[in-house]
Every structure is written in structure tokens, then in C-alpha cells.
A = this chain, B = another copy of it.
């Protein structure tokens, strides 16, 4: 098929937008990423992308999935292609409870709401809890997509420091005290306890209890985002925060990393009273999640060895993590440091002073390697000496080659800095969001 109609007039810059005076205040924060054009280049095949967060699907049993889905459409098509409820399919909600039980969560299927990916769950939670000017506490750095959602609801983000054991309880106490002193209303703590995106660290078990206790004492809800929890490289899991304080934790889950991101099936498990609000919010947002997609996930969980599939994902990601860490150790110039994740998709790299990772990105892409600069993961301009490296998608060989290229660019940059002093240093300007298929 071909396009119809004339091409749109591309001459209008944002200042010429005739609708400019009509936008809601919340739309002011929605601006296109400066680095979007760069990520378009970075998606070319000759570039090794260490930027994307796309899961590796090569291990999926496509042929048997294809057969199951075909059967589902021919036998149950009148249900699969019809509207469903905003709550989600009952059988899938039962199965979701079984999946969550692997991390010690005891939830009731009635309190699960199926969403269009856990991104929508996060959007719904923010919608029902956050007025403009409210504060969300989040790890620093934090997931770029969550920062985008908080911006869309005009919610302030206060970052809380992490170390190799995750969120630092003392830093959480200080952040809460500072917010209270400033009269700012903290609505919830947004946290990714397992195999953090982008930091690659995991919250230690003793700290989990401590953080829950701090939040409960200050009347602050906890929003636990857990897309990677089953992707521990040794099959290890941790008790979910939700399992330790069911009444004060809203849990967000996803099949995007353990099965198939393109189906957009996620969920939230909320305290019962909150569940009702979430469902009403979801109805007004999308009416209902796609029925076919829910049935595909449900059928997959019922007929495939999904636990075995997750094991093979763990193995694939461990190999890639190993390749990345080995390459970092071998190639990176002195003065760099990085996290060594036990699961998930990401390494968080800190470069020596004098290098600005955002300013360096065009040079890296020219050298055929891409990453996400650290400023994208902070709401407050920090992160210019950091970058996120993803090992989820490329092969181990490509990862090694990508790190080799990155090291060469970084060495050049350090040499320049040593000769001429720090260059291109500038404060970040909020999240620099790559497109979702590269995030």
C-alpha cells in the first residue's frame, strides 16, 4: 500500500506550533529527546547498540507458539477478538499469582489488574495518587520511563542514593526529612529492588525490611517495580517487598522480560481498596487490555515449560553479562568503574572526571557503538559521568566488540581532556529518552 495525501509541512518548529497556547500545563514537560535522532542512527546494523533494553527472544519456541496461537484463534476467536473487562481475564490473573509466588508474594487474583505492560500500571498508579507538585522518591539513577510518567503528571522526583546493596536506608530517611521540612508531600517511593534498571544492583534482604519500616512509619506508599526479578543469573530470587508488607506496597509485574515484550502484558497487584481505583482509571485509559494477548500469555503459561524458558533466558543473559564484564576489564582505560549485576540487563558505568557521557555520545555513535548517557536516568541533571550499558540484546561477540569500540572513544576523550581540560561539560536537561524499542 502506498501513502495518500501530500507530505505534511515540516517547516514548523515548535515555536510555530499553532496549538501552543492550548496545551495543558502537564504537556510543557513533554519534549522530544535531543538524542532521539542519534538513536535513529544508532539502530543501524553496523552500530553495536549497548543502548537498548530489548529482551533477547531468540530462545523462544516460535513454532509451537505459532501452533498454540492458531488454535486459540480458530477455537476461541470470538472471545479473543472481543472486548474483555478492565480487570483482565480471571484465568490469567490466577496464573499471575502463581508467577508472583516464586518471589514469595501471596496475592489474591481479585487484587490483580492486568495492564498494557507494567508501564501502564505505573501510569495508573501515578494517575490515582499524584497531584501536580507532589513528590515521588526514586532511586538515583532511576528507570527513564518512570521519570517520563512522573513528568507527565507534573510530579516532582527526589532521588535517593544507592550503593552496591541498593537503596541506602539512611539516604531515604534524609530525603523524607528534607521533603517534610520543605512542606513537600511525598506520595510514594518508586523502587526497582531487583537487578536495577539502570544501576544493575539488587536491594539486600535486610535493607528491604528497613526500607519498608521507614516508609510505613512516614505514611509513604511503596511502588515496587519488578520486571527482572526472575532473571537472576544463578536462578536466585529475593522476597518481594510486597511479600513483606502487603498493605503498603503496590506491586508492578510484567511478562515483557520473561516471555514477550511485544504482547504488552503487565499487571499490578494492589491493596484491595486501591485495586478498585486502578481498575476505574484503567477503564478510562484503554477500556480493557487486549484479550488475545492475555489469552496467548495464559495459554503459554498453561502449555509451555515457562520455568524452563526462564532458566534459558537466565543463561543467555549470564553469558552476555560475562562477555561485557570481561571486555570492560580488558579494554576500559584506568579510572572507570562499573557495577557487576547478578541478574537483569544492565551495567552502570562511571567514567573519569573530565568526560561528559552525553557530549561523547555522537563520537561513540560515529565509532559504531551506542549507549544511554547517565543524565537520562536522573530528573535533576546528575549522571553526566555515567552511562548505562545493556547486555541483553547483542550476542556476546558483538558486546565484546562494542566495548572495544567504546574504550577507544573513551581513551581519545580522556586524552583530549588531559590536553585541553574538560570539554563540553554542561548540566543535563532532564531525561533524554531513547525510543521505546531502544530503551
A residues in contact (CB < 8 Å) with B: 1-10, 12, 14, 16-20, 22-27, 30-32, 53-55, 57-58, 60, 62-63, 65-67, 69-71, 73-74, 77-86, 91, 94-95, 97-98, 101, 105-111, 116-117, 119-120, 123, 127-131, 134, 145, 148-149, 151-152, 187, 219, 221, 247, 256, 260-264, 271-274, 276-277, 280-281, 283-293, 296, 301-302, 433, 435-437, 439
Task: Determine whether the beta carbon of B9 is less than 8 Å from that of A272.
Answer: yes
Q: Assuming A7-B108, A62-B73, what are 8 further A-B pairs, CB within 8 angstroms?
A: A4-B106, A14-B273, A17-B274, A32-B276, A60-B78, A84-B436, A85-B437, A262-B291
Q: Say which residue of B109, B151, B271, B302 sits within 8 Å of A19 (CB atoms).
A: B271
Q: What's the Cα separation between A117 and B5 when bound, in Å?
A: 24
Interfacial chain B residues near A262, Cβ < 8 Å: 79-84, 290-292
List 27 A-B residue pairs with CB atoms under 8 Å apart, sorted by A's residue number.
Answer: A1-B98, A3-B94, A4-B97, A8-B108, A9-B272, A14-B273, A17-B273, A17-B274, A22-B221, A25-B131, A26-B128, A27-B129, A27-B277, A30-B277, A30-B284, A32-B280, A60-B78, A65-B77, A66-B74, A69-B69, A69-B70, A83-B256, A83-B436, A84-B437, A145-B283, A264-B287, A290-B290
Which of B22, B82, B105, B436 contacts A129, CB < 8 Å?
Answer: B22
User: Which of A14, A127, A131, A296 lies at the interface centre, i.e. has the most chain B CB atoms within 10 A of its CB?
Assistant: A127
Which B residues are in CB contact (< 8 Å) with A58? 78
CB pair A119–B77 under 8 Å, yes or no, is: no
In the complex, the chain B residue whose C-beta lies closest to that of A437 is B83
Whether the Cβ atoms of B6 and A108 lie closer than 8 Å is yes
Residues in chain B near residue A18, CB distance under 8 A = 247, 271, 273
What residues on B are CB-neighbors of A81 within 8 Å? 57, 60, 260-263
Q: CB < 8 Å: which of B25, B66, B123, B219 contacts A285? A: B123
Closest CB in chain B relative to A215 CB, distance in Å: 12
CB distance B82 to A57 under 8 Å? yes
State how many angstroms separate the Cβ of A375 from the closest Cβ of chain B: 18
Chain B min CB distance to A116 (Å): 5
| Partner among B14, B86, B127, B272 whose Cβ is within 8 Å of the Cβ of A435 | B86
List the 9 shortest-distance A-B pairs measured between CB atoms, nearest first: A5-B106, A70-B70, A17-B273, A262-B291, A81-B260, A66-B74, A62-B77, A148-B284, A66-B73
